[in-house]
Amino acid sequence: MTTATVEDGPLRPGALLRVEDVVVEFPAPGGRVVHAVSGVSFDVLEGETLGLVGESGSGKTSIGRAVMQLPPPRSGRVLLDGVDLTTLGRRQVRAVRPRLQMVFQDPLSSLNPRRSVRGVVGEPMRVWNRSRPDIDARVDELLSAVGLDPAAVGDRRPSQFSGGQCQRISIARALVLEPQVLVCDEAVSSLDVSVRAQILNLLLDLRERYRPTMLFIAHDLSVVRHISDRVAVMYLGKLCEIGPAASVFGGPAHPYTAALLESVPVPDPSVRPSDEEVLDGEPPSPVDPPSGCRFRTRCPRAQPRCAEEEPIMRAVAPEQFVACHFPLTAGAPRP
């Protein structure tokens, strides 16, 4: 494997999960194309948590699904431990599936309402023909790990539980096969603050205990900051910035990251937001994305060059990469 160079952008050797130049497209009416993800690369080291943030429609879920091969991306590579999943046949993908699991946003609709909790959590193991006592022991272990009493809840149905409890059940189910990679897509977004705090604590506990490699997708920046080692920021199908959580949140280099951070309401009444707009307008359509830098139509720093030339990912600080011609860092060219 090659060592990281500027051309490689943010990719590091030896990562457990490596996403290379992934493209996801959907058909749009009139024979047009939704450019949901347009050439995105990142990686996640073993045991690391990468937070993925960005506006609605920026392609976060599409990337998560591409990693899971649900469906495989239109082009690009997804390497798990060096094996490119996109080249595997259906049977081979099925064989690696247990190593990748996804937790979805809406806990209730992702659980089979006719099955008991025990059945729901144990199902992935049954598919893999594990023995009954093995399944029972593992299901008990995981229900306890997510804070549910197996004896009390095992025989009840998901519809009898609250949103937070259902999210615990789907996390238990995702972990039952000891996946190497866990993709959490807005796993806490629909929950109340107090329940959200419980689930976040649970994820932090499970991370210490099982060290899964996590791709944590969320639009709530305070949550992402709290749980991630590294953070990747997306805008309209492109990666704008990636780096250690402390660097990206502490010193955002991409104008979009900066605007995003400034838009987050601070839970402190002494910090009053100014009357000035952080960012004008709304994201353009992914059917017809702007030329050059996709953020340029809303960017306060945009220059003619931004429309002509697409910015490539480059390092602005150790481990911190940004795709912008005029990033917000000391010593960088000013527009």
- Find out whether 256 and 295 touch, Cβ atoms under 8 Å: yes
CA 28 – CA 37 distance, rounded (Å): 14
Report in angstroms how near the CB of residue 280 gets to another protein at its nearest: 8
Give residues in contact with ligand ATP (CB under 6 A).
26, 34, 36, 54, 56-62, 219, 286
Q: How far is the CB of 199 from ligand SF4 (least distance, A)?
A: 34
What DSSP string runs through 57-114?
Answer: TSSHHHHHHHHHTSS--SEEEEEETTEEGGGS-HHHHHHHGGGEEEE-S-TTTTS-TT
Q: Which amino acid is at 305?
A: R
* Total number of residues that touch another protein (CB under 8 A): 45
Among 207, 283, 296, 320, binds ligand SF4 (CB under 6 A): 296
**What are the DSSP calls for 5-16, one per residue?**
-TTTTT--TT-S
DSSP state letter for 285:
P
Tokens encoding 269? 């009444």
- Residue 45 sits in the site that holds another protein (CB under 8 A): no
Judged by beta carbon distances under 5 to 8 A according to partner kind, the member of Mg ion, another protein, ligand ATP, none in contact with residue 247 is none
How near is the Cβ of 60 to Mg ion at its closest, in Å?
5
- Binding part of the chain for another protein, among 22-30, 166-174, 190-198, 308-316 by CB under 8 A, reads 190-198
**Binding residues among 52-91 for another protein as defined by CB under 8 A:** 55-56
Q: Does 41 bind Mg ion (CB under 5 A)?
A: no
Taking CB under 5 A as the criterion, which residues in 47-76 touch Mg ion? 60-61
Q: Which amino acid is it at 287?
A: V
Residue 265 binds to another protein (criterion: CB under 8 A): yes
Stretch that binds another protein, among 14-22, 29-37, 223-231, 327-335 (CB under 8 A): 223-231
Burial class of residue 216 (count of CB atoms within 10 Å of its CB; 0-12, 13-18, 19+): buried
How many Cβ atoms are within 10 Å of 292's Cβ, its own excluded? 17
State the residues that interact with another protein by CB under 8 A.
55-56, 162-163, 192-194, 196-198, 200-201, 204, 219, 221-223, 225-229, 245-246, 249, 259-260, 262-273, 275, 277-280, 282
